[in-house]
């Protein structure tokens, strides 16, 4: 194995340049036996032409030649080579020091004196090739780091504690609009901090001056271009003179925080009407319930309003006018509400209201008044449009004591109103809480036995490589088939597994089953990457690495076919430990994916350091990507970072060809979603892999 590695290490294409035929033949004979491919040139001009055409890995170049000497040829090769660092070894006379100096001035990497020591020559060639490859790797890494720093808007700074002098990298002015010379002393930097943040910054700096801890500050700088939000991290140097030096990183997070605020807004608001969505509405109900409990008075009404046969209006008026009609309804509802009432869009043509009133009767009266106002015509496209509504009502405390229960009761009442053809229906009295509690206990009891009784099973959702148009991976998804209830939704039983402390045992079963399935597919000639989600308990288990490695080896799966998926929020709980653990997994050839990227606590600083292979963009940013510019901007930013770091980017939740076209245009490498396939059994995955036709095409991808 060592001999094979040595041959592979030395193998490469060499350009030999010498006007003496016999010397070229000797060089060819010696180096060809070492496994090198040889190109020959008789003079410098021919060498330059061959260098540009064939780009050899190393050049052996004689000094004295007709047409063009070696110095000129070396100089021209360096111009062609730019900063690739292709090694050039020049052949000179043994005592010709001037030629040696001229060789290095022309850009030579090394020299060999004549007569040639053949053993020394092969060693010099091997060393130069290794050095050249290392230099190229260093250059590529430097370019990646520079690009990543630019994208992440990172700069570096030093604070010398003995005289409070500050030094900043050249990125500072580009990030903040302030030249580094203006921050040459600590008091100048403090003067540029926003007054509301200055005291906090001063206290943190004073504390770090007296301790050995680390600094982490987020503050506002008043820059020439306006106010910028910056994130400072740093730590004291080592012993000796470095003990009085504080070094750190400086990140402009202004745009990141704006994007995060926009993401938060989009996560809680409807894009068309800008009303709150279901998530925000439930939060508002919860806040109202707390307020009533504190004040011990008042009534709350939750109303669910549906537009009867809205699709007919949408078809007749067109989608654009239909959207305008929904916006007009939203505006009218907002005008009719009083503080602290709330309105939300909770479905395509469904709205929800939260009304405060002194008592239940007053709340119902207010809702009926609002519904009456909604019956007034909407003026659209030079004509009046009159709508019919069906509504459901749930009141606290008659129909529930928590947010989701009240909203669900109102929705069920609206469905009954629609079936019965009535404008408004009141919810039935709330279900017996004892019965609901008993049902939960029954589920918990059944979960304790589900693993032993083999009631769990895995489905796999396919992932397609956009460039190749092939199925290249799957995500493993846990399902539970209850003997009497049938399929229980994961959203219902997975939280129970976590609460009961069963998630680690079930997670280990998922790991083993997914690895076995990966092994079966490999044996059948099906090359698929199998994604496995890790729970927080699994990831935080001190023995997780050994357990995963033992499982993969025991079932016979290939580590390179396994991809472990963790959420960014989980990784950010203890970034330093996560980096070490993920590094060990990567060294074992296991792939790592960050799941649900963008909805947790994204930090570019740590993303640059995490040893990962894949970023999975959450479907929240894909769902409306064809219509919402902010979502496109977020996906574009994530893919740009991924491309810079050499990562795969998977967009989740792709359901339409138009969404697929958008994410592909933005640089996403793979997609997952109903456009490619729903979660399915292994046999169906195998059939899909064999006969897959990329959506939008007519011929299979062979």
Mean pLDDT of successive 10-residue segments in the chain (702 residues)?
42 88 88 89 93 91 89 91 84 74 84 82 86 78 63 75 84 67 81 87 84 80 75 75 77 76 78 89 89 74 89 75 89 88 89 90 89 85 78 87 89 77 76 51 85 94 95 96 88 78 91 96 96 86 90 95 84 75 92 74 59 87 83 85 87 93 92 95 95 77 44
What pLDDT does residue 348 have? Answer: 86
Q: Which of 328, 357, 355 is nearest to 341 (CA)?
A: 355
SS3 state at 650: strand
Distance CA 271, CA 260 (A): 16
What pLDDT does residue 701 have? Answer: 46
Distance CA 621, CA 625 (A): 6
What pLDDT does residue 147 have? Answer: 60
| Cβ 45 vs Cβ 68: under 8 Å | yes
Question: To which residue do tokens 């700074």 refer?
Answer: 157
What pLDDT does residue 434 have? Answer: 46
Strands, E, within 18-152: which ranges? 37-41, 58-62, 88-93, 110-114
Distance CA 203, CA 184 (A): 20
CA angle centred on 70, ends 66 and 75, rounded to 5°: 130
147: exposed, middle or buried (C-beta count within 10 Å: 0-12, 13-18, 19+)? middle
What pLDDT does residue 588 have? Answer: 94
Distance CA 395, CA 356 (A): 10
What sign results for the dihedral spanned by CA atoms 189, 190, 194, 197? positive
**Residues near 157 by beta carbon (within 8 Å), at least 6 away in sequence:** 166, 167, 168, 169, 172, 232, 234, 247, 248, 249, 250
Domains located in the chain, CATH noted: 2-144 (3.40.50.2300), 153-252 (3.30.450.20), 274-426 (3.30.70.270), 442-691 (3.20.20.450)
**Taking the CB of residue 459, how many other CB atoms lie within 10 A of it?**
17
What's the per-residue H, E or C state across 50-87? Answer: HHHHHCCCEEEEECCCCCCCHHHHHHHHHHHHCCCCCC
- Helices 490-500 & 503-523, crossing angle to 10 degrees? 120
**Cα 125 from chain centroid?**
43
What pLDDT does residue 74 have? Answer: 92
This prediction's pTM:
0.45
**Taking the CB of residue 50, how many other CB atoms lie within 10 A of it?**
17
For 559-594, give the DSSP string: GGGEEEEEEHHHHTTSHHHHHHHHHHHHHTT-EEEE
What pLDDT does residue 702 have? Answer: 42
| Cβ 635 vs Cβ 664: under 8 Å | no
């Amino acid at each position: 194995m060592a001999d094979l590695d040595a041959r592979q290490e030395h193998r490469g294409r060499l350009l030999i340049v010498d006007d003496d035929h016999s010397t070229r033949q000797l060089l060819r004979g010696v180096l060809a036996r070492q496994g090198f491919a040889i190109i020959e040139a008789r003079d410098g001009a021919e060498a330059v032409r061959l260098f540009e055409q064939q780009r050899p890995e190393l050049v052996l170049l004689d000094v004295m030649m007709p047409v063009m000497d070696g110095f000129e040829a070396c100089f021209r090769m360096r111009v062609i080579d730019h900063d690739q660092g292709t090694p050039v070894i020049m052949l000179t006379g043994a005592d010709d020091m001037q030629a040696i100096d001229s060789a290095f001035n022309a850009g030579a990497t090394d020299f060999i004196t004549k007569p040639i020591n053949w053993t020394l020559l092969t060693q010099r060639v091997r060393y130069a090739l290794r050095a050249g490859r290392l230099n190229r790797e260093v250059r590529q890494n430097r370019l990646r780091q520079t690009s990543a720093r630019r994208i992440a808007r990172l700069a570096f700074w030093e604070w010398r504690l003995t005289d409070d002098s500050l030094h900043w990298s050249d990125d500072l002015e580009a990030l903040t609009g302030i030249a580094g010379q203006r921050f040459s002393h600590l008091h100048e930097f403090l003067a540029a901090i926003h007054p509301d943040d200055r005291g906090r910054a001063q206290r943190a700096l004073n504390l770090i001056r007296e301790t050995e801890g680390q600094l982490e500050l987020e503050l506002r700088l008043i820059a020439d271009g306006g106010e910028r939000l910056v994130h400072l991290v740093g730590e004291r140097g080592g012993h000796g003179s470095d003990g009085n030096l504080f070094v750190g990183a400086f990140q402009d997070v202004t745009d990141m925080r704006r994007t995060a605020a926009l993401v938060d807004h989009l996560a809680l608001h409807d894009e068309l009407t800008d009303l709150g969505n279901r998530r925000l509405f439930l939060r508002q109900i919860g806040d109202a319930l707390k307020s009533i409990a504190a004040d011990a008075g008042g009534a709350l009404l939750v109303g669910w309003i549906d537009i009867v046969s809205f699709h007919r209006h949408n078809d007749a008026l067109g989608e654009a006018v239909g959207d305008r009609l929904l916006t007009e309804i939203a505006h009218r509802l907002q005008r009719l509400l009083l503080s602290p009432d709330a309105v939300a869009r909770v479905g395509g043509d469904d709205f929800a209201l939260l009304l405060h009133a002194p008592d239940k009767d007053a709340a119902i009266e207010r809702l009926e008044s609002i519904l009456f106002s909604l019956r007034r015509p909407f003026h659209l496209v030079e004509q009046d449009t009159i709508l019919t509504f069906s509504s459901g009502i749930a009141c606290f405390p008659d129909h529930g004591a928590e947010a989701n229960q009240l909203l669900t009761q109102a929705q069920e009442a609206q469905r009954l109103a629609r079936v019965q053809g009535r404008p408004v229906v009141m919810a039935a009295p709330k279900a017996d809480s004892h019965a609901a509690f008993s049902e939960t206990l029954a589920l918990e009891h059944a979960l304790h036995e589900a693993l032993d009784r083999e009631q769990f099973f895995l489905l796999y959702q396919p992932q397609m490589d956009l460039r190749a148009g092939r199925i290249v991976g799957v995500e493993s998804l846990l399902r539970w088939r209850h003997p009497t209830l049938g399929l229980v939704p994961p959203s219902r039983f997975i939280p129970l597994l976590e609460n009961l402390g069963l998630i680690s045992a079930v997670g280990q079963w998922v790991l083993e089953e997914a690895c076995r399935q990966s092994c079966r597919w490999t044996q059948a000639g099906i090359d698929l990457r199998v994604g496995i989600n890790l729970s927080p308990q699994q990831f935080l288990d001190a023995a997780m690495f050994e357990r995963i490695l033992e499982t993969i080896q025991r079932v016979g799966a290939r580590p390179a076919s396994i991809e472990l998926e963790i959420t960014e929020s989980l990784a950010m709980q203890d970034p330093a430990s996560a980096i070490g653990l993920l590094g060990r997994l990567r060294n074992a050839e296991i792939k790592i994916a960050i799941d649900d990227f963008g909805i947790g606590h994204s930090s570019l600083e740590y993303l640059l350091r995490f040893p990962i292979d894949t970023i999975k963009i959450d479907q929240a940013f894909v769902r409306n990507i064809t219509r919402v510019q902010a979502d496109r901007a977020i996906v574009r930013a994530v893919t740009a970072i991924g491309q810079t770091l050499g990562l795969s980017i998977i967009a989740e939740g792709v359901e339409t060809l138009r969404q697929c076209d958008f994410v592909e245009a933005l640089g996403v490498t793979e997609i997952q979603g109903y456009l490619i396939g729903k979660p399915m059994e292994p046999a169906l995955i195998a059939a899909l892999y064999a006969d897959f036709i990329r959506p939008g095409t007519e011929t299979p991808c062979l």
